[in-house]
């Protein structure tokens, strides 16, 4: 800023403030406002909306730019729209980083769950078994489990750590399998025809209420598979009064998808969000850039409580493994 001496008096020229024209401010604010409306109204069920809706956390952060542009326009209606948009997006995203208080009924033993997508069976078996040794899960839920991956996991010593299993391995991405520290009772696979295999089993824990776990792997919601993806999520069993049910695996969906929120509405909570790890991305994990979106989850009966969670790298896999510790209800 230059000071000018005029007749012995120093005059300071007025500071120029950046001002955005109202039309430009509206152009900046409108896309964020439309995104917020689509997210709140669950309008992601068709076409490209399913794929891009996973970007909501990034859009929420970027919406601050729209607020700044609105403030610079000095138009109240633009400012109000921008602030309401950012507030709405923050309201659906920030709780995942804060966590929630455990339910009062969760006074029973804990159940530790590790889920890992093995990327067509080529995920590093030694690394997976290393995670099992370090995290000490009661259950390992695997997706894209091929017969070769089963052999590699056994060779790495998984059978000694988790001796009980319910496997539905298969070629490519079709197979899945449950490994357990405790005896398993196999239950019928409920997956719709044409979907990946999703084995489920009842776990005989030493104490606590009955527990059932479902190994989830929905189809990816791309192009013509969107309807099948939605059918996979809709087919997942609801929470049930007589058992504590846990859904663990690759949902190919984030909490910003209405179809996954519909599953939560049937009696479940998300372990990552409940422990403040809901923004920890799990896919894609085999690129030069960090993982971007969160599509691997452990959903648990709301009568239980999540006490710990975290993501872990599995070399050669395009997913990061997800671990959760759930405290079961004292009684049903």
Q: How do residues 230-284 score in pLDDT, each as one tens digit?
A: 999 999 999 999 999 999 999 999 999 999 999 999 999 999 999 999 999 999 9
Q: Tokens for 82?
A: 């921008």
pLDDT tens, position by position, 302-315: 999 999 999 999 99
Q: CA 204 from chain center: how many Å?
A: 28
Asked if residue 46 has pLDDT above 80, the reply is no
**What pLDDT score was predicted for residue 152?**
98
Closest CA to 198 of 170, 226, 168, 219: 168
Mean pLDDT over residues 291-311, rounded? 97
**Average of per-residue pLDDT values in the chain:** 93
Long-range Cβ pairs for the range 288-292 (8 Å, 24+): 291/320, 292/54
As a whole number of angstroms, the distance between CA 25 and CA 36 comes to: 17
Give the confidence band of 10 by pLDDT, cuts at 50, 70, 90.
low
Percentage of the residues of the chain whose pLDDT score is greater than 70: 93
pTM for this prediction: 0.92
pLDDT tens, position by position, 86-102: 999 999 999 999 988 77
């Amino acid at each position: 800023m230059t000071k000018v001496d005029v007749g012995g008096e120093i005059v300071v020229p007025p500071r120029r403030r950046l001002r955005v024209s109202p039309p430009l401010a509206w152009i900046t604010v409108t896309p964020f406002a439309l995104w917020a409306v689509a997210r709140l109204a669950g309008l992601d069920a068709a076409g490209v909306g399913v794929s891009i809706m996973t970007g909501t956390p990034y859009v929420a952060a970027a919406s601050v730019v729209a607020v700044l542009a609105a403030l610079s326009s000095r138009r109240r209606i633009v400012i109000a729209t921008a602030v309401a948009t950012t507030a709405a997006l923050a309201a659906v995203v920030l709780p995942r980083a804060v966590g929630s208080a455990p339910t009062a009924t969760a006074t029973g033993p804990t159940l530790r769950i590790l889920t890992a997508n093995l990327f067509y069976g080529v995920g590093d078996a030694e690394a997976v078994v290393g995670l099992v040794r370090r995290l000490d899960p009661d259950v390992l839920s695997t997706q894209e489990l091929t017969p070769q991956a089963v052999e590699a996991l056994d060779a790495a010593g998984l059978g000694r750590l988790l001796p009980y299993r319910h496997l539905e391995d298969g070629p490519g991405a079709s197979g899945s399998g449950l490994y357990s520290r405790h005896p398993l009772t196999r239950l019928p696979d409920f997956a719709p025809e044409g979907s990946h295999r999703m084995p489920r089993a009842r776990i005989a824990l030493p104490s606590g209420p009955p527990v059932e776990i479902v190994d989830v792997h929905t189809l990816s919601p791309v192009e013509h598979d969107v309807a099948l993806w939605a059918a996979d999520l809709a087919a997942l069993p609801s929470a049930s009064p007589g058992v504590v049910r846990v859904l663990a695996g690759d949902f190919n969906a984030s909490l910003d998808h209405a179809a996954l929120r519909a599953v939560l509405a049937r009696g479940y909570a998300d372990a990552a969000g409940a422990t403040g790890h809901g923004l920890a991305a799990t896919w894609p994990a085999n690129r030069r850039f960090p993982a971007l979106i969160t599509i691997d989850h452990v959903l648990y009966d709301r009568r239980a409580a999540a006490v710990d969670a975290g993501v872990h790298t599995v070399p050669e896999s395009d997913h990061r493994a997800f671990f959760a510790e759930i405290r079961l209800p004292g009684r049903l």
